[in-house]
Amino acid sequence: MRLLLVNHPVRAPSRRAGLLALITLLFAAFGLAPALAQSHAHGAPEKAGQAKTAPAKVAPAKAAAEKASPASQATPNQTPPTISYHTPTTFTLKTGIAGGRMVYIGVGGAIEGKINPTLMAHQGELIQINLINGEGAEHDIVVDQFPARSAVVVGKNASTTISFQANKLGEFAYFCSIAGHRQAGMEGLVQVMAGPRETMASGGADIVRDPADLPGPIGQRPSKTVRVDLETAELVGRLDDGSTYTYWTFNSKVPGPFLRVRVGDMVEVHVRNPANSVMAHSVDFHAATGPGGGAHTTQTDPGAETVVTFRALKPGLFVYHCATPSVAHHITSGMYGLILVEPEGGLPRVDREFYVMQGELYTTASFGTNGMQELDYDKLISERPEYFLFNGAVGSLTKTHPLYANVGETIRIFFGVGGPNFTSSFHVIGEIFDNVYPMGSVEAPPVKSVQTVLVPPGGATIVDFKIDRGGNYVLVDHALSRAERGLAGHLIVDGPENDAIMHAGPADAPAR
């Protein structure tokens, strides 16, 4: 459940305050036990030229998760093992006057407009409370039984945050500690319940592309003609717990299918737009040489099919996207993907490959609002997104489709930015990229030992690294305030934690 909603006059202060708390929490994450993996299944191959291959082996962490749920293993007053310090349950409160009393007023979601609302949490969750000063008096917020105490905010629209782990069951007061304010009415409850939070039904389809859903390496073979089938699909999909959005997609997922050819191949692309579509659609391949990357040929009306063929002249990792006006509208709604043109002989071998893309959504309602969400065109052309997303939805790579691996394996991530507007600073917290292919180039030698990779909208990169230690690694854009707008992913690694690489305590602490 997402409850963060900040009204327009105070959005910027709230984001800045939330960022400070987030940065602190990011570094705290390394001490956590690995998150318990959720089960996931790979769908059937979609079309010719896009058949997927299963990973070399299934991570034991995933298999263990399929046998037992966190609820079955948790005991009272014990933190379940599914905690992530990067996906807090967030509440926003604004100070104000109601009925002649000083109060906290809920902002967004289920607490919108409620006076001193009860904040419902579940055992083990990380709780973040954003406090906005609504009238200019001096205020703070305290939950002293965890403990958590905010800074004092004085000016109107000033804001601050607190965070704590809900590791105790029961009801706990939150209040303002400024003299007389609690007695004047500024007091509410945090209620912590046992068991995991149930995902709110949203009624939409799962549009998230599983990051493990990509075809295997081509390797050694002569060039040939490769057929690719893309079907444009307009469908209502799950954006977040309790919210939906009308996505425009290639093959019903965001991003579109990962396409894999080799240099010299002729790529024959069939674009079909179903008769029940509202919009015309097309495709522009950055891997193609020719007018519009093929978009001039593939402008496809509802009920029609078009074909374009191009030769893959240059190896590399390239974006493709819809190029029907408004191009930004089609892209933000999900019409983007990656095509890898392998060099002769392919790329160096790794144990696992993943496919991740970043994008933005511009909705009329603020981030976290429940219900059906609609595009706000003014926000789109003004570049004011409500959501930053991996693979199309909030929680896509944390709740529903995390990445799985084992200690000792080598990992490759094909990463691209659909956008349409924001550059990504792609980073995996707790890992260093052994090899980076900047801008998706595979002809130059890779750059070694890189922390963060800059990827522009319409751009891509390839990163390789070996996993040396078990745990839960977090994928982020290092423009870290975007994590509070939905942008986070998990790489769950099963295996020994290896105290020789990192451990709690001093250097001479005994190994576990």
DSSP for 375-436? Answer: B-HHHHHHT--SEEEETTBTTTBTTTS-EEEETT-EEEEEEEEEESS--EEEEEET--EEEE
Q: Are residues 155 and 264 in the same domain?
A: no
Dihedral sign computed on CA atoms, order 295, 297, 298, 302: positive
CB 74, CB 80: distance < 8 Å: yes
The parent domain of residue 171 ranges over 8-24+77-193
HEC string of 244-286?
EEEEEEECCEECCCCEEEECCCEEEEEEECCCCCCCCECCEEC
Q: Are residues 179 and 207 in the same domain?
A: no
Write down which residue in 141, 176, 193 finishes a domain.
193
Q: Are residues 220 and 139 in the same domain?
A: no
pTM of the model as a whole: 0.76
Q: Are residues 136 and 278 in the same domain?
A: no
What tens-digit pLDDT sequence spans the chain (512 residues)?
A: 344 433 333 333 333 344 444 444 443 443 333 333 333 333 333 433 333 333 334 444 444 333 333 333 333 333 333 445 456 788 999 999 999 999 999 998 778 899 999 999 988 888 999 999 999 999 999 999 998 999 999 999 999 999 999 999 999 999 999 999 999 999 999 999 987 766 555 679 999 999 999 999 998 999 999 999 999 999 999 999 889 999 999 999 999 999 999 999 999 999 999 999 999 999 999 999 999 999 999 999 999 999 999 999 999 999 999 999 999 999 999 999 999 999 999 999 999 999 999 999 999 999 988 899 999 999 999 999 999 999 999 999 998 899 999 999 999 999 999 999 999 999 999 999 999 999 999 999 999 999 999 999 999 999 999 999 999 999 999 999 999 899 999 999 999 998 889 988 999 876 55
Measured distance CA(482)–CA(19) in Å, rounded: 9
Q: Are residues 269 and 335 in the same domain?
A: yes
Q: Are residues 362 and 257 in the same domain?
A: yes
Cis peptide before 457 (omega within 30 of 0): no
Residue 444 burial by Cβ neighbours in a 10 Å radius (0-12, 13-18, 19+): exposed
Q: Are residues 53 and 146 in the same domain?
A: no
- Token pair, residue 299, equals 């402008």
Residue 276 burial by Cβ neighbours in a 10 Å radius (0-12, 13-18, 19+): exposed
How many other CB atoms are there within 10 angstroms of residue 434's CB atom? 16
Measured distance CA(35)–CA(488) in Å, rounded: 14
With respect to residue 329, please indicate whether it lies within any of the assigned structural domains: yes
With respect to residue 175, please indicate whether it lies within any of the assigned structural domains: yes
- Token pair, residue 117, equals 């609302």
Measured distance CA(273)–CA(194) in Å, rounded: 48
Write down which residue in 160, 193, 226 finishes a domain.
193
Q: Provide the strand spans (E) within 99-177.
A: 101-107, 119-122, 126-132, 142-143, 148-149, 159-165, 170-175
- CA distance readout (Å), 138 to 7, 9, 133, 189, 380: 20, 19, 8, 21, 37
Q: Are residues 255 and 294 in the same domain?
A: yes
